[in-house]
Structure 1
Amino acid sequence: MSENYLYVHLETVTNMILSYGISMGDFVNSFKHVPEHLMLLSPVDPDEMIDPHTGFNVISGRENVLGYLLNPKIHGKKWIDYKHTLYLDEVTPLEVSELLYLGHAYTHLSSPFYYKLANRYVYLQVPNGNVKTYYRHLDDFYRVLSNAIVRCFEQHHFEQNFLFRRNTTNFVPLDQGTIQTLHQLLIDGVLFNFMAAKRDGGFFQVPLYQLRHRFSGGEAAWLADDDILLGHLRYNRETQHWNVTLQA
């Protein structure tokens, strides 16, 4: 189902992204540098490494971090990265309580970016199937979004269009201009409906919708009659260029 729909809602004050359909592979493949350390915000496992000052489970070493992130058997992943183990001893009791709240309530009390942790991300798998992520730098998110969009185009194209399987289309990452256009739309939330993606001449395109109802990843009806068609994200197969065409 995750290759059929992408949903992205951007909250610009704290760079929070509510999403559905973005895979952990999309996230990990966007890393310029794999985080060296993770603090887990999920319930503490006494059999795993625990930081004695904060009381949270921690994972150190890039190989171990990737092993955790990409392990499909671990559900409900909730974590925040941090830069230096040494600074964990300086985390205050108030900050520990904020982190506990972040993991429990899936939202922030104050800024989700901590000076002592120097974190770039907060990642929270929400029980309803959505994911909440906070990005210190939105450019990190747009690499993730580009990976997700390209993956969905490729999977839809190959699975749904048998006649074109032999003629592989290599989708390039989204360019900055297309990202900027999408940025404005994402502030109100956008559903990329790959169930309705199609080939139109030399273009592949997916319709973009603004929903009039609160989105939940587990709902049976993804679109309602009063949802608004915003336009289409289009890929030119010949020139390998992306663009967004908006409804008049």
Structure 2
Amino acid sequence: MAKKEKEIEEYLTHLYVHVNEVEHFALFSGLSVQQFIRYFSDMPALLLLKHQYEDSSFNMHTQLEFIVQEQYTHFLKDYSERPTAICLMDFTDERKLNMLSPQEQAELLYIAHKKETFRSPFFYHLQNRFVYLTDEGERITKVYFRDIEDLNSLLASIFNQQISEKTKSTTFWRKKNNVILPEISADKVETYIDYYEDGVLMSLFKMNKINYGIEIRSLPENIFPDEVLDDLKLHLEKEPDLLIEI
């Protein structure tokens, strides 16, 4: 008997990922700012290089705005109501902003405007782990990572968040202490890093009552990342290159 093909509705989420390890960035489609900040929620503060958030703090030295950890929830709520293009990066405390040179401040503005950098986007004084850039519709997101381990952990976090939400919705009437959530580890994500360098579609689905799977499909090099999710049906017709079982 021929294997039954899954319908689009059977998938929990889809994520396009294209990693450039040389330049320390990854391109995403299907990544939300909520998912991203949820993973990096332990960061003390975020420097807002491009935004329309009205309740941020103002740094006199750089003439830039920022938010601290206690404001993240309100920031995300505001963003969900008024999506805009965003460029932000993490830093430790405001005193470090006051140490930035005019050259470094100019580089920050360049990154926010061009969505690229002409040298490392990781600043000595800020010790930032990432630079996050997305357009108004989050159709394409670019993230610079200081450490590739953060990329692996972010991917694991995204899929684990989806599994958790799916499990909660299907176990509403059960006792929570009886539910053991399957999880994918950052180490397991890293195992397939070679695939991500070519650009892949990662599709999460439920395999059975307790297990989940992530299908990985390599996509053509000339693909436009912001069009991947529009053409899901076409891409899903291709057999997966591999299956990650969770």
Is 1:55 paired with 2:66? Answer: no
Gaps of 5+ in 2: 1-8
Cα offset for 1:112? 0.9
Counterpart contact for 2:122–2:128, Cα < 8 Å: yes
Gaps of 5+ in 1: 236-248
Cα offset for 1:178? 1.6
Q: Distance in 2 between matches of 1:34 and 1:26?
A: 13
Q: Percent identity?
A: 22
Q: Distance in 2 between matches of 1:119 and 1:25?
A: 19
Counterpart contact for 1:44–1:57, Cα < 8 Å: no
Q: Secondary structure at the match of 1:209?
A: strand
Q: Secondary structure at the match of 2:207?
A: strand
Counterpart contact for 1:44–1:56, Cα < 8 Å: no
For residues 156-197 of structure 1, the C-alpha deviation after alignment (integer angstroms, 9 at most, x for no partner) is 6788xx8x9988864333235422222221111221134xx3
Counterpart contact for 1:8–1:191, Cα < 8 Å: yes
Aligned length: 228
For residues 74-102 of structure 1, the C-alpha deviation after alignment (integer angstroms, 9 at most, x for no partner) is 42232112223223233222222211121
Note the 1:183-198 alignment, pairs <5 A: 183-194=193-204, 197-198=205-206
Higher mean Cα deviation, 22-31 or 94-103? 22-31
Cα offset for 1:198? 5.0
Q: 1:64 aligns with which of 71, 95, 105?
A: 71
Q: 1:42 aligns with which of 34, 47, 50?
A: 50
Is 1:23 paired with 2:35? Answer: no
Note the 1:1-248 alignment, pairs <5 A: 3-31=12-40, 34-42=42-50, 48-59=56-67, 61-69=68-76, 71=78, 72-75=80-83, 76-127=85-136, 129-153=139-163, 170-194=180-204, 197-199=205-207, 203-212=211-220, 213-216=223-226, 220-222=230-232, 223-224=234-235, 229-235=240-246
Q: Secondary structure at the match of 1:27?
A: helix
Cα offset for 1:39? 1.6
Instruction: Give the number of the structure with larger relative contact order, counting CA–CA contacts within 8 Å between residues 6 or more apart.
Output: 2
